[in-house]
Structure 1
Amino acid sequence: MSKLNMLFSFLRFLTLFSVFLLLINPKFNQVTFITEKPDLVLLVDNSSSIKHLNQDKNVLSIIDNILSNTQLNNKFNISKYTFGEQLKPADSIQFSENQTNISDAFNQLNQVYKNSNTATILISDGNQTYGNDFEFITSTYKNPIYPIILGDTITHTDLKIQQLNVNKYAYLKNRFPIEAIITYSGNTTVNSRFTVKSGNTTLFSQPVNFTKNKNSETINFTLPANSVGVNSLKATIIPIENEKNIINNTKNFAVEVIDQKTKIAIVSDFLHPDLGALKKSIESNKQRLVTFLDLNNTFSQINDFQLVIINQPNNKFKHLFEVLSKENKNRFTIIGNKTDLGFINAVSKTFAHEITNQTEDYQAEINLNYSPFIVDDIDFESFPPLKSNFGAVNFLIPFETILHKKLGSVSTKQPLLVTFETNNRREAVLFGENIWQWRAQSFINTKSFNNFDDFIGKLIQYLASNKRRNRLNVDYESFYNGNTNVIIKAQFFDKNYVFDTRDALSIKVKDKISSEEKTFPLILKNNNYQVDLSSLPPSEYNFTIKATNENISKSGTFQILEYNVEQQFLNAHVTKLQRLATNSGGISYFPNETNSLIASLVNNNRFATIQKSNKNTIPLIDWNYLLIIIALSLASEWFLRKYNGLI
């Protein structure tokens, strides 16, 4: 056999062998190895209390010492975060946060490092201004925590206004209550005086005395509301000799005095949890009073109320609807399982509800284009569904939808909560019952009823008023505490009252005391424009919000009260941080013991690098090189035969 025939035979054998291999398609295992280092989380307190306790340089030195340590970097994947009000990546550390929520920072970290081998270094003074007690976070956060305790551990003699409880609103010619809680740290007997002043006028004064055992006192008193508007007051506990921190001896507060109260009536012929939930939400604003009216004795009192809430009406409500129409009263109607839809269709001149005698559970979907007032998304999609009558709703007049019905993941675009204006009155209709469950879920989500109550409050404020609709609406408070964010929101509409995202809004703010003026742009966010004025110092301000392309503006006034909660602390909260370390399986340290902490982490066998193997079964048909071999052998055989004139 010639060499050429032998070559042809080899190429043909190689081709057929490769094809048969593909037909059999054997599988083989591929094993890869990876090493996984444990995580080291550096959690840094970025609140202004760190700077107030003169610990800012210590913190920066500790961070640099940890991040530059070669052994730690070889053993751990190091991540750095800061926290104040919220957990953030540590892009910059300026110790400027006005609030501290240590518990929330750990809750967020838990979502990231829940299933990993992680050590957490907490660099903090342990002084938390709001949120759940961080000492008990170890019930959910299972990784060891190593606090580095910042601040003075020596207990100094100190008088402090621990808490001041006062309503935000009061009514003209009434007296409003105040509760002041004064605390004392020290071993000797001291005497002082608690005062409340408006300007230079003393409105209240009372002597107080403390001993080592009697270290707190609660003072309850009332003050008169004599003038309408925002009344700024200052509560002071007079400092004692050699007191180190006198900032926490004073608290500024304010009360807005109003000369009338919004009265809302609720009418229902049966008991329902929704009624109690609405009453609590509405009366969370002390400007509003809710009264439950008997259906049979409603009509003589109807003119005493600015709004009537009608719960699931039926034929018994016929006379009530006649009176409401005659007096042209604003109303809020709740339609649920016990509502007589035939009656509603007969008395309503604004909409008709299809009658199917069936119910369905619908979730809520917010309409971000709703225009009459600013509506914030309070996580409606997480709320339980409302029980609603199945069937289409046909409106006979223009209306605005706040919430649409949502069935599972499908948006029906049918209205769940709507508002409309007709004959110079305002109305709202809720096509569902069990809204009390929303209030409960809102509390579960945020640990507060405030979000839900604010939503209901805005709806009631709109319904209880007959003010002419404006193209520019502004949402702001009359005064802001110094430890809260100063957020002003605005909505701007075109001539057809459609939310306008094309214009640019700006706000000019003038300090009444210094006459200094500043201008800020408003940023478009969801269905409103917003500006954060938290950088402004405490003072009284006039402001004007103006649309750039049109001659439309709106003015108002607000006040920022002087108060920095982060400057109320004198010491580190040593005991609580030590208990946190013990309960989590970690150890607490002081700034001068940072090297000991580093050595402990480096030598701790609990945080070892793990080698993981990954076994992957691969079929031969996925091996592309075999296809290349088949193609090359066939091409080579064809070329050689062609070259030698055999084909």
Structure 2
Amino acid sequence: MTAQTVLYIVIAGVTSFALAVFMYGYKTKYNRSLSWLFGILRFITLFSLLLLLINPKFKSETYSVEKPKLPVLVDVSSSISSLNQDENVRDLVAKIQNDASLQDKFDVSYFGFGNDFGILDSVSFLDKQTNINKAFKTTNELFKNEIAPTIVISDGNQTFGSDYEFSSLTFSNSIYPIIVGDSTQYIDLKIEQLNTNRYSFLKNEFPVEAILVYNGKDAVTSRFVIRQGGSVVHSQNVSFTQNNNSQTISVSLPSTRVGLQRYTATIEPLQEEKNKSNNSKVFAVEVIDQATKVLILSQLKHPDLGALKKAIESNEQRKVTFMEPEKASAVLNDYQLVVLFQPDRSFRAVFSEIDKLKKNTIAITGLQTDWNFLNSVQNNFRKEAANASEDVSGVLNLNYGSYAVEDFGFSEYPPLQTLFGELEIKVPHEVLLQQQISGFSTGSPLFASMEVNGVRTAIWDGEGIWKWRANAYLNAESFQDFDEFVGKMVQYLASNKIRTRLEVNHETFYYNNNPVVVSAQYFDKSFVFDNRAQLEITVVHSETKKRDVFPLLLKNNYFEVDLNSLPQGDYSFTVSVKDEAVSRSGNFTILDFNVEQQFLNANVTKLQRVATHTGGASYFSNNMDALIDSLLKNEDYTAVERSQQKVVPLIDWKYLLGLIAIVLSAEWIIRKYNGLI
């Protein structure tokens, strides 16, 4: 409280006292006792009202005791049950939950990790992948500025994600791994990794790379075999020793038939091996007759061109060719889609040929685009561009109906650059991305697609696409989101398929350790996306003839179903719309591959190194009491008393308002009682 405020309070007190004395002490008509009583009540009322007008501020300080945090990260992947440690892990979690001393000293929270990371609601070991790195990164972000020793109950076996040992180097708290699983090293021969293309072209060859690993001391010999059905397509002998314990086998196999081709790679097991499930891997390659060819025409050298090529060719069914526009007219008919990058007058012959051949195109415009030329050679869109540039962001239109797109945070991506001016689309169209500047819509599209007389065209008005691809990697450590976005755009624009009211998207084959997802879009008779429709999928196993029916759930501007509960095998399916005679059918295959069954032991060495890096200690599951005792005795983990100081204005003090109401009421009652009212 400042000196000025104190002075005001003193003046208020003197003024209130003077007024009370004047009203009830100077020539008063009341008796002495009533004069004193009314004077005191009036002084309190006046002084309280003046205090409210002055509204002095007071400091309020509260104290709280804050216990250190104790996050418990529990591995809920299926490798725990494969190692027969599921009951052991449940017992360990229950022991922490039931330890009164631990609960009294720490604020304990429980998280589960496998495919993903989240609050532990039940200890079930169903996840088909393990990402320990994500668990460490998320925990570090949640408890970065707090005292939070972290217990990790795991076998230490990770199947995807960055190496968690290196991410633990930046962990701000100590990690205490509880190692579950057998630490004994058994003789084991396995296929550590198998790499191959998803697609191949007819009469070509596709590569297969197998990394074989041996754990053992004696020299051994085995045979590596690749079979297709009952036929052996490749076979070779392999030898290993304790020092030479890995080999990389590279093979090229011919693509002789169109369609899904399934293979089994096997390293013949040794007689004394304990785990033989990791000796074989099933893989598949879809052989296609020809690729979707995309031609990118440009006079410029620009980083966007590289980003587009990488994104488009992330799907092996698509091939990109770069060419200068002056040389392209004669070869346009060899391509399904032509990308016109920043068109200028050198594109004149190309536009004439495109119009003659009715080719599908996408124009990508930016700061080097000649809009006067572009406005004159086509009638689909127009822009009266100024010389000034502007930075624009993209906002996804969830009602876009040409194909399904998931919002992976377009509005948070770096802005693209475009020439100032309003982009006008002059034909029927759909806007996928709307332009936005500093959070306000410009009314112009950033990306729009059109279909006129069976020819599909699109306009992307902004350069700097490479920043979006880079940002996608920074957000998810993968280019997949951006590449899928560009891939769907190319797939739609490169196709001349007649649009139907029910569009279904699915893969030809899935591995059962990855999501098995089928998506669909349903349109009404005016081809407007109908989000009120009820879609379901009927799946029939080709061998057992078992039928399963699943509903498709609405997700933004499409419907989706996750079929991960289905076992391996070949399936036919039908997606239908309730109360409508509209349906689409297809086939897919689920290939068996359980990466979680590839492990024999806990990864003791890596978990011990993680504990050392972070200043913690590792324990085996039978030594849980030692860990609890260590945490309880560690003086670094003690409760902290924190004070919180608040500045509270007097007007927020409700008791003063209550006092004024009580005093005024008391004065009224006394006057009424004495007949003065």
TM-score (norm 1): 0.97
Shift of 1:620: 4.3
Aligned residue among 190, 206, 210 for 2:236: 206
* Superimposed CA distance per residue, residues 413-432 of structure 1 (whole angstroms, 9 cap, x where no aligned partner): 31111111112211111111
Kindly indicate whether the alpha-carbon contact (under 8 Å) linking 1:168 and 1:256 is maintained by their aligned counterparts in 2: yes
Correspondences of 1:157-556 after superposition (within 5 Å): 157-556=187-586
* Number of the residue aligned with 1:557: 587
Measure, in 2, the Cα distance between the counterparts of 1:357 and 1:179.
53
Aligned residue among 9, 20, 23 for 2:50: 23
Aligned pair 1:41/2:71, yes or no? Answer: yes
Shift of 1:616: 3.5
Aligned residues: 647
Measure, in 1, the Cα distance between the counterparts of 2:619 and 2:140.
23
Measure, in 2, the Cα distance between the counterparts of 1:283 and 1:76.
52
Aligned residue among 34, 37, 40 for 1:10: 37
Kindly indicate whether the alpha-carbon contact (under 8 Å) linking 2:59 and 2:646 is maintained by their aligned counterparts in 1: yes
AA at the equivalent of 2:133? S
Shift of 1:567: 0.4
SS at match of 2:443: strand
* Superimposed CA distance per residue, residues 123-142 of structure 1 (whole angstroms, 9 cap, x where no aligned partner): 00000000111112234320
Correspondences of 1:600-619 after superposition (within 5 Å): 600-619=630-649
Structure 2 unpaired stretches of 5+: 1-27
AA at the equivalent of 1:135? E
SS at match of 1:34: strand
SS at match of 1:301: helix
Kindly indicate whether the alpha-carbon contact (under 8 Å) linking 1:12 and 1:634 is maintained by their aligned counterparts in 2: no
Measure, in 2, the Cα distance between the counterparts of 1:100 and 1:63.
19
Measure, in 2, the Cα distance between the counterparts of 1:300 and 1:395.
29
Measure, in 2, the Cα distance between the counterparts of 1:634 and 1:147.
68
Shift of 1:447: 1.1
Measure, in 2, the Cα distance between the counterparts of 1:171 and 1:214.
36
Measure, in 1, the Cα distance between the counterparts of 2:659 and 2:369.
78
Measure, in 1, the Cα distance between the counterparts of 2:331 and 2:652.
83
Measure, in 1, the Cα distance between the counterparts of 2:458 and 2:649.
65
Measure, in 2, the Cα distance between the counterparts of 1:627 and 1:528.
57
SS at match of 1:345: helix
SS at match of 2:611: helix
Shift of 1:60: 0.8
Measure, in 2, the Cα distance between the counterparts of 1:500 and 1:552.
13
Shift of 1:120: 0.9
Shift of 1:614: 2.6
Measure, in 2, the Cα distance between the counterparts of 1:163 and 1:36.
48
SS at match of 2:330: coil
Shift of 1:29: 4.2
AA at the equivalent of 1:228? V
Residues 201 and 643 (structure 1), Cα distance of their counterparts in 2 relative to 1, 3 Å cut = same
Kindly indicate whether the alpha-carbon contact (under 8 Å) linking 2:41 and 2:667 is maintained by their aligned counterparts in 1: no
* Number of the residue aligned with 2:103: 73
- Percent sequence identity is 47
Of 122-131 and 18-27, deviating more is 18-27
* Superimposed CA distance per residue, residues 535-562 of structure 1 (whole angstroms, 9 cap, x where no aligned partner): 1111111011000121111111111111
Aligned Cα root-mean-square deviation (Å)? 1.7
* Superimposed CA distance per residue, residues 257-285 of structure 1 (whole angstroms, 9 cap, x where no aligned partner): 00111111111112111112111111121
Measure, in 2, the Cα distance between the counterparts of 1:172 and 1:285.
16
Measure, in 1, the Cα distance between the counterparts of 2:664 and 2:100.
58
SS at match of 1:118: coil
Measure, in 1, the Cα distance between the counterparts of 2:305 and 2:196.
27
* Number of the residue aligned with 2:17: none
Aligned pair 1:51/2:51, yes or no? Answer: no
SS at match of 2:185: coil
Measure, in 1, the Cα distance between the counterparts of 2:659 and 2:496.
84
Measure, in 2, the Cα distance between the counterparts of 1:63 and 1:448.
34
AA at the equivalent of 1:469? R
Aligned pair 1:105/2:135, yes or no? Answer: yes
SS at match of 1:300: helix
Kindly indicate whether the alpha-carbon contact (under 8 Å) linking 2:44 and 2:663 is maintained by their aligned counterparts in 1: no
Residues 517 and 31 (structure 1), Cα distance of their counterparts in 2 relative to 1, 3 Å cut = same
Kindly indicate whether the alpha-carbon contact (under 8 Å) linking 1:48 and 1:566 is maintained by their aligned counterparts in 2: yes
SS at match of 1:433: coil
In our comparison, the structure showing a higher alpha carbon Rg is 2
Kindly indicate whether the alpha-carbon contact (under 8 Å) linking 1:43 and 1:83 is maintained by their aligned counterparts in 2: yes
Measure, in 2, the Cα distance between the counterparts of 1:15 and 1:632.
12
* Superimposed CA distance per residue, residues 457-492 of structure 1 (whole angstroms, 9 cap, x where no aligned partner): 111111111010111111111111121010111111
Of 40-49 and 609-618, deviating more is 609-618
Residues 417 and 630 (structure 1), Cα distance of their counterparts in 2 relative to 1, 3 Å cut = closer
Shift of 1:215: 0.4
Kindly indicate whether the alpha-carbon contact (under 8 Å) linking 1:11 and 1:634 is maintained by their aligned counterparts in 2: no
Structure 1 unpaired stretches of 5+: none
Kindly indicate whether the alpha-carbon contact (under 8 Å) linking 1:472 and 1:493 is maintained by their aligned counterparts in 2: yes
Measure, in 2, the Cα distance between the counterparts of 1:251 and 1:353.
56
Aligned residue among 616, 621, 631 for 1:586: 616
AA at the equivalent of 1:104? K
Residues 646 and 57 (structure 1), Cα distance of their counterparts in 2 relative to 1, 3 Å cut = closer
Measure, in 2, the Cα distance between the counterparts of 1:28 and 1:278.
62
* Number of the residue aligned with 1:577: 607
